[in-house]
């Protein structure tokens, strides 16, 4: 901790003092360096440069950094921030016992490379991109979710991810084509999709300019349609698949005669129509102004060429359709007005690619700034620019030098978000005690430490799950588990012969016509699965009884591990059928969770708006913690991971320590120990339950400190 009189110290002395308070393994502050590689030295150099800039800002405002957090606070904060849950008692104890000098950096690396980090980051992306399990009635969101999880696991560069989202084409349900989900999330609304993309990736709100000139910014309605023109004439159908399946819709009369109208309609909708959804069209670079356009700079319905709102201008050679071509297209429109499509504006000129290249360029004045600021807020709780998605021409960071430097770090790591996070987590700034006052609206926030925050809904749920299940991360599904059946069905439609397709559609109609037969078949399959599980468990249970009879603890532990492995396999199969959500981490449940679910009670977004989750307190949360979920699933369940750990500890002191390590991830103070020892002497079993209930309901459990 720096002395109170540090404002009068020279710059060199300040840097030396900061070095004394750096995290384990850090050396003296050095000039900025390229952090493109992943070595610890380069990460630490970038982290120290950030700390230096933070310290200079604090000095300028007569402030000082908070003290460095202790190991117990660090391990809890690291697990919550990197893998989205609290550590187990064993994980916390292992870290606290380790004496290695660089153990903090090593834990950060270990957690960043774990499946839990993919799960945690997926929750962040799902909130940002408004991810849903179903994008519409007949478009599954599972391929989209698989694409996001796979991209995170592969550490796909952020600029590449954005480029793929903006230029995705093809069938929505085809394997490795989940990026189409971003456009299909706003199916039929290309203008809305453009506005959402600009707000998400450029931190700029254009939506007000769709109907009129922006009342609070410089954007005009013509600017809005100039941006929308990059995706001109986009279609929400995979043209090749539609051509292949065009004649299959004629089967409906034949199926109706055989299985009934309802079964026939469902078969066609759920096979043929769902297979043709996708994205087509490279972009014409043209858009048509609305009929009620009221400004003098253009006429209503006139064509507008694609034009970027800032940065380097993008040249797109448009090729508008002639009046003769438009008349020809108009004659081919269906007589039914409801089924008529908007007339095209021009020939495809690949303007969507030009749009993506402009947006993701390091030269774009807002692309790098916005993602560097979003990730800074994810880590520190407050952005260097607030709000993160409402940048205007005169918007400036309260710390421009620091903002410029973290932008440079993002470019140097080539938009590898995991590497960028690695730098931020290694800073002394992040490893300082929290600033409990937080940021006041309209005021600059100076980073004496991260901002005090409540656990997000997903962090709370996953932490609760960790109290119930041993090795909760082992329950995570493979990223493509639920998408695979969708890929397989689509492949049948895409590659089968006409006879194969006809048979497949007819089988679907038969199942719809006789749901009882389909249900009986499903029940037989599930009964067979249960029998298979029991067949595996019986010999293991005999081994366990024998080991207990001989009092062989090592043998018991080995058999119990095998039994848990078999049960985990059964749980995984159960969840793959869309059930068993009580045992699934937040990234594996329905997106978003159903209304009334624990996640929704604690602030998970309904995914209608960009990053609409919240961390506000509410009465249902209190009721769930006081006498609902905790009472039923953690304390009342003697097989829960935490209760087993506490009950297996020998003696009251060991039980108290196990409870504190498993919930607050620290050892109890002497006063806490004395208080709970006295209670346990009176009623050991009830005192144990009271202890766990009390710890889970503390502010210390619900906040990231």
Is the pLDDT confidence value at 202 over 70?
yes
Q: What does residue 569 show for φ and ψ, rounded to 5 degrees?
A: -65, -40
Question: H-type helices in 365-437, by residue range?
Answer: 367-380, 400-412, 417-425
What is the pLDDT averaged over residues 331-335? 56
Note the Cα 306 to chain centre separation in Å: 32
Among the residue ranges 44-58, 204-218, 259-273, the one predicted with the least confidence is: 259-273
- Report the chain's terminal Cα–Cα distance, integer Å: 18
C-alpha 489/C-alpha 275 separation (Å) is 9
Average model confidence (pLDDT) for the chain? 86
pLDDT (mean) for 432-448? 81
C-alpha 593/C-alpha 542 separation (Å) is 40
Bridge partners (DSSP) of residue 635 are none
Cα–Cα–Cα angle for 597, 601, 602, rounded to 5 degrees: 120
| Burial (CB count within 10 angstroms: exposed 0-12, middle 13-18, buried 19+), residue 328 | exposed
Q: Give the span between the Cα atoms of 165 and 97, in whole angstroms.
A: 45
How many Cβ atoms sit within 10 Å of the Cβ of residue 335? 6
Non-local (6+) Cβ contacts of 142 within 8 A are 133, 482, 483, 486
- Contacts of residue 206, defined as CB under 8 A and 6 or more positions apart, other chains included, come to 194, 195, 198, 199, 214, 219, 223, 224, 227, 309
User: Are residues 585 and 465 in contact, defined by beta-carbon separation less than 8 angstroms?
Assistant: yes
| pLDDT tier at 249, thresholds 50, 70, 90 | low
Between the CA of residue 478 and those of 98, 249, 414, what are the distances in Å?
32, 35, 27
User: Do 231 and 351 meet the contact criterion of CB atoms below 8 Å apart?
Assistant: yes
Indicate the Cα dihedral angle 637, 639, 645, 648, nearest 10°.
110
**CA–CA dist 381, 77 (Å, integer):** 12
Distance between CA atoms of residues 149 and 587, nearest Å: 9
Lowest mean pLDDT among 86-95, 106-115, 309-318: 309-318
Burial class of 146 by CB neighbour count within 10 A (0 to 12, 13 to 18, 19+): buried
User: Can you give the pLDDT at residue 19?
Assistant: 42
Q: Cα(277)–Cα(192) distance, rounded to whole angstroms?
A: 19
Task: Tell me which range, 27-31, 148-152, 572-576, 614-618, is most confidently predicted by mean pLDDT.
Answer: 148-152
Which residues does 677 contact at the CB level (< 8 Å), separation at least 6? 652, 653, 656
Selected residue with higher pLDDT from 417 and 556? 417
Question: Which residue in 514, 516, 518, 512 sits closest to 265, CA to CA?
Answer: 512
C-alpha 459/C-alpha 379 separation (Å) is 14
What pLDDT score was predicted for residue 223? 93
Average pLDDT for 377-402: 93
For the CA atoms of 596, 599, 602, 605, the dihedral, rounded to the nearest 10 degrees, stands at: -90
% residues pLDDT > 90 (the chain): 58
C-alpha to C-alpha distance for 450 and 377, rounded to whole angstroms? 9
Which tokens is 75 given? Answer: 């391990």
Q: Show the tokens assigned to 91.
A: 């994980």
Residue ranges of the alpha helices (H) in 71-220? 71-83, 89-97, 103-112, 115-128, 142-153, 158-167, 181-184, 190-202
Q: Mean of the pLDDT values across residues 540-558? A: 84
Residue 187 tokens, joined = 């199916």
d(CA 666, CA 670): 12
CA distances for 493 relative to 138, 189, 505, 615, angstroms: 15, 27, 9, 44
> Is the pLDDT at 37 greater than 50, yes or no?
no
Buried b or exposed e, range 502-539, using 16+ CB within 10 angstroms:
eebbbebbbbbbeeeeeeeeeeeeeeeeeeeeeebbee
Supply the pTM of this predicted model: 0.86
Convert 205-235 into a string of H (helix), E (strand) and C (coil). Answer: CCHHHHCCCCCCCCCCHHHHHHHHHHHCCCE
11 has pLDDT over 50: no
- Cα within 13 Å of Cα(181), Cβ side: 29
pLDDT at 59 over 50: yes
Distance (Å, whole) CA 312 – CA 640: 58
Give the list of residues 6+ apart from residue 236 with CB closer than 8 angstroms, or none. 183, 184, 187, 188, 277, 278, 279, 280
Q: How confident is the model over 457-494, as pLDDT tens digits?
A: 999 999 999 999 988 998 899 999 999 999 998 998 88
Q: Which pLDDT score, from 0 to 100, does residue 676 have?
A: 94
CB atoms within 10 A of CB 189: 13
- Using a 10 angstrom Cβ sphere, with 0-12 exposed, 13-18 middle and 19 or more buried, the burial of residue 148 is buried
Taking the C-alpha atoms of residue 520 and residue 564, their distance in angstroms, rounded to an integer, is: 30
Band of the pLDDT at 565, cuts 50, 70, 90?
Answer: confident
CB-based contacts of 30, cutoff 8 Å, min separation 6: 45, 48, 49
Q: What are phi and psi of 346, to 5 degrees?
A: -170, -175
Distances (CA, A) of 419 to 27, 84, 146: 20, 18, 22
The rounded distance, in Å, linking the Cα atoms of 78 and 98 is: 16
Taking 90 as the threshold, does the pLDDT of residue 411 lie above it? yes
Positive or negative torsion for Cα 661, 663, 664, 669: negative
Q: 174-183 burial, b for 16+ CB within 10 Å, e for fewer?
A: bbebbbbbbb
Bigger pLDDT: 551 or 582? 551
How many CA within 13 A on the CB side of residue 43? 22
Q: 167: which 2 tokens?
A: 């230029």
């Amino acid at each position: 901790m720096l002395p109170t009189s540090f404002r009068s110290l020279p710059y060199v002395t300040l840097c030396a003092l900061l070095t004394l308070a750096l995290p384990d393994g850090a050396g003296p502050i050095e000039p900025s360096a390229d952090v493109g590689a992943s070595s610890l030295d380069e990460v630490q150099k970038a982290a120290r440069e950030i700390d230096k800039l933070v310290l200079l800002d604090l000095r300028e405002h007569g402030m000082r950094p908070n003290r460095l957090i202790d190991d117990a606070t660090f391990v809890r904060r690291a697990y919550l921030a990197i893998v989205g849950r609290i550590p187990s008692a064993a994980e916390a104890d292992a870290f606290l016992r380790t004496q290695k000098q660089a153990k903090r950096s090593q834990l950060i690396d270990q957690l960043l490379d774990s499946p839990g980090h993919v799960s945690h980051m997926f929750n962040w992306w799902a909130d940002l991109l408004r991810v849903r399990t179903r994008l519409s009635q007949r478009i599954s969101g599972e391929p989209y979710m698989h694409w996001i999880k796979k991209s995170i696991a592969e550490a796909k560069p952020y600029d590449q991810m954005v480029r793929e989202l903006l230029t995705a084409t093809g069938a929505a349900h085809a394997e490795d084509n989940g990026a189409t989900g971003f456009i299909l999330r706003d199916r039929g609304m290309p203008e809305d999709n453009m506005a959402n993309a600009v707000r998400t990736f450029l931190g700029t709100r254009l939506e007000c300019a769709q109907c009129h000139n922006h009342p609070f910014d410089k954007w005009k309605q013509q600017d809005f349609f100039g941006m929308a023109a990059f995706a001109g004439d986009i279609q929400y159908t995979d043209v090749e698949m539609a051509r292949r399946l065009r004649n299959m819709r004629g089967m409906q009369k034949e199926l109706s005669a055989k299985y009934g109208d309802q079964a026939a309609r469902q078969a066609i909708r759920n096979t043929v129509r769902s297979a043709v959804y996708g994205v087509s069209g490279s972009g014409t670079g043209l858009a048509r102004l609305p009929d009620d356009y009221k400004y003098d700079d253009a006429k209503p319905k006139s064509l507008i060429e694609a034009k970027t709102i800032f940065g380097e201008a993008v040249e797109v050679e448009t090729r508008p359709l002639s009046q003769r071509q438009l008349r020809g297209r108009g004659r081919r429109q269906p007589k039914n007005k409801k089924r008529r499509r908007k007339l095209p504006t021009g020939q495809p000129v690949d303007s969507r690619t030009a749009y993506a290249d402009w947006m993701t360029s390091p030269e774009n004045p807002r692309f790098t700034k916005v993602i560097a600021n979003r990730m800074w807020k994810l880590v520190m709780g407050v952005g260097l620019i607030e709000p993160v998605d409402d940048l205007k021409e005169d918007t400036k960071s309260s710390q421009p030098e620091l903002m410029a430097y973290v932008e440079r770090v993002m470019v140097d790591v080539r938009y590898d978000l995991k590497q960028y996070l690695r730098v931020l987590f290694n800073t002394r700034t992040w490893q300082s005690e929290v600033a409990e006052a937080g940021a006041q609206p309209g005021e600059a926030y100076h980073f004496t430490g991260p901002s005090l925050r409540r656990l997000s809904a997903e962090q709370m749920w996953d932490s609760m799950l960790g109290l119930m299940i041993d090795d909760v991360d082992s329950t995570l599904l493979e990223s493509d588990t639920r998408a695979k059946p969708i890929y397989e069905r689509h492949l049948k439609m895409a590659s089968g012969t006409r006879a194969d397709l006809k048979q497949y559609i007819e089988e679907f109609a038969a199942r719809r016509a006789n749901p009882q037969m389909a249900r009986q078949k499903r029940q037989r399959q599930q009964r067979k699965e249960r029998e298979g599980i029991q067949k595996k468990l019986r010999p293991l249970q005999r081994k366990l009884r024998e080991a207990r009879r001989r009092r062989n603890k090592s043998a018991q532990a080995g058999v119990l591990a095998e039994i848990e492995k078999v049960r985990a396999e059964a749980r995984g199969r159960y969840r793959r059928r869309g059930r068993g959500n009580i045992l699934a981490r937040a990234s594996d449940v329905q997106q978003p969770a159903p209304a009334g679910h624990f996640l929704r009670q604690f602030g998970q977004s309904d995914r209608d708006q960009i990053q609409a989750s919240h961390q506000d307190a509410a009465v249902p949360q209190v009721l769930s913690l006081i006498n609902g979920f905790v009472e039923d699933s953690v304390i009342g369940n003697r097989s829960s991971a935490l209760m087993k750990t506490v009950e297996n500890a020998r003696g009251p002191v060991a039980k108290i320590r196990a409870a504190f390590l498993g919930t607050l991830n620290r050892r109890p103070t002497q006063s806490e120990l004395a208080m709970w020892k006295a209670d346990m002497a009176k009623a050991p079993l009830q005192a144990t339950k009271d202890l766990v209930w009390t710890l889970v309901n503390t502010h210390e459990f619900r906040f990231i400190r």
